Amino acid sequence: MSGAVLDIADLHVALHRGRTIVPLLRGVGLAIQPGEVRGLVGESGAGKSMIARAIFGLLPGGARITRGRALFEGRDLAAMAEPERRALLGARIALIPQDPMTSLNPVMRIGEQVATVLRLKGGLDRRAARERAVELLAEVAIREPKRVVQLYPHELSGGMRQRILIAMAFSCAPRLVIADEPTTALDVTVQRQILRLIHDLQHRQGAAVLFVTHNLGLVAKLCQSVTVLYAGRVVEDGAAAAVLAGPRHAYTAALLSATPRLDRPADALSPLPRTLIETLLAEARAYDAANAGAYR
Amino acid sequence: MADLAGAPAAPAKRGLKLDPRAVAGGVIIAVLLLTALLAPLLAPHNPLDQDLLATQLPPSFRPGGDPAYFFGTDSLGRDILSRLVYGARIAVIVALVAASLACLIGSVLGLLAGFYRGVIDQIVSRLIDVWMSFPPVLLSIVLAAAVGAGLGSVILAIVVVDWTRFARVVRSEVLLQRQLDYVAAARIVGLRPFQVLLREVVPNILPMLATLLTVEMGIAVIVEAILSFVGLSVSTDTPTWGGMIAEGRTLINQTPWLLALPIGCVIITVLGFNLLGDGLRATLDPVQRR
């Protein structure tokens, strides 16, 4: 698809340990248009984080992209030289991490950490970066930003740290923001504020967002489109409202009925049917057998 | 929806809140440094002057003591206090220079090994394994004997033996730090690996390194005393605590203070360095500093 900010096609990632090869992503394809918010849903181990890691070039040891491409604004991240990719990260592609408690450097003051990104990626000088850091904190609704820049991460709450990480992610007007379950580590009351903040910033800057989550409720509220992943394969893809209202794939339907809802009794919850999981895994194995060459 | 996130109500206290151990250790080390620096002013006598009419005098506050010789004299009639004061010079030089060099070499190797892993780590780790299979004191004695006596060879012996202490600890600490999310976050912001190491990881191991360095200074003082004791340090006409212990050992029954005083100096010095190290860890770490 032309014009897409991110265009992933036929992406295969495999873990190589000596002679054994473990497929992690089995030909994933997804595209995000400028300004689009796309949910990426799936249970643990489905490969959501692997996609994010592949984009950032931070696959775990032994894992690598064995086939396919991940085009960012028409340039293939998978084939890109390391320095070129590094220039994009932080500036054009940013991440909102999962755990705000550990994602800030514990011995650096907040202001210094925000200013570092601005200096290295935004091209500001030391002084301008420091001033801009204060403005950015104010933009993510942190009270007394002048004082907060002087604090260390452990002196702030989880919600405040996540705001700071969001400020850092949006600091250089990125085209693509990957939000990796940005609210899972937070209090429910703080979650809404954080989501609102991401939505506002995304809207204002026109950035595309890949929203990684396993919370279908968030997808319904926040995303225009959604990609459902299972065992490293895309099982369903489409407009969020349509997919959630009338899932075409049995797995999406099962996932929906496994989600607790206020308007349905608790005993309406059903775990994923065993036969469905077995079918899906058998499909994955059949795919691996037919495409063994894709993982080398 | 309250959209303003509040900062913690009680503003955290700025400025360094010093740990009492750091203060105690700092005072001891400051006194030691001043003593070494001002030795010619502080010492009542020339430490080499012999007074053969006043040998083996007890300290002046003991029966038979001479007020001119506060801590008494040794078997050649040299003033003990002056020799202790001058001995501090060698101890301080060795502690500062040898520990810093060992720290520098060991930390650089440990940082590279822990952060980049791979071949560098293999080489450094095997080197440490081989190194640690030698008894350290024996190794320094052999080294000092091979290079010849002198201040330089004492320092060399300590550096060559003790760099592994830094390399080992720094490597394992870096291994731990590089797993943490903030390192991944820094990579995702697009920092080069070397920038990540220097800007993100190193500040996190500095409190630990400061502690290790001060403890190593104490160890260096002990090793220097050992090498002086066996006569492999500076030449015998320069007073050292280790040398004084060796001289006092033969007369332990007649003049125990000849042995006790330099040992006391070593103990207080090492204690000072260790206290300072403990206190620094608590003072430098922003998470522990509350």
B188, A58: Cβ pair inside 8 Å?
yes
A141, B7: Cβ pair inside 8 Å?
no
pLDDT class for B11, splitting at 50, 70, 90?
A: very low
Given CB atoms, is B10 within the 8 Å cutoff of chain A?
A: no
Closest CB to A152 among B180, B206, B286: B286
> What was the pLDDT predicted at B288?
66
ipTM rounded to 2 decimals: 0.77
How confident is the model over B57-91, as pLDDT tens digits? 888 787 877 778 888 888 888 888 999 999 999 99
pLDDT class for A191, splitting at 50, 70, 90?
A: confident
Given CB atoms, is A154 within the 8 Å cutoff of chain B?
A: yes
How confident is the model over A92-151, as pLDDT tens digits? 999 998 888 889 998 899 999 999 999 988 888 999 999 999 999 999 989 999 999 999
Given CB atoms, is B5 within the 8 Å cutoff of chain A?
A: yes
B204, A103: Cβ pair inside 8 Å?
no
How confident is the model over A220-250, as pLDDT tens digits? 888 999 999 998 899 999 999 898 888 888 8
Q: Which of the residue ranges A169-178, A280-289, B9-18, B223-232 would you say has the lowest mean pLDDT? A: B9-18
For the cut 60, the answer to whether the pLDDT of residue A78 exceeds it is yes
SS (H, E, C) chain A: CCCCCEEEEEEEEEEEECCEEEEEEEEEEEEECCCCEEEEECCCCCCHHHHHHHHHCCCCCCEEEEEEEEEECCEECCCCCHHHHHHHECCCEEEECCCCCCCCCCCCCHHHHHHHHHHHHCCCCHHHHHHHHHHHHHHCCECCHHHHCCCCHHHCCHHHHHHHHHHHHCCCCCCEEEEECCCCCCCHHHHHHHHHHHHHHHHHHCCEEEEEECCHHHHHHHCCEEEEEECCEEEEEEEHHHHHHCCCCHHHHHHHHCCCCCCCCHHHCCCCCHHHHHHHHHHHHHHHHHCHHHHC
With beta carbons under 8 A apart, name residues in chain B contacting A99: 181
Q: What is the pTM of this model?
A: 0.79
With beta carbons under 8 A apart, name residues in chain A contacting B206: 107
What chain A residue is nearest to B13 in terms of C-alpha separation? A151
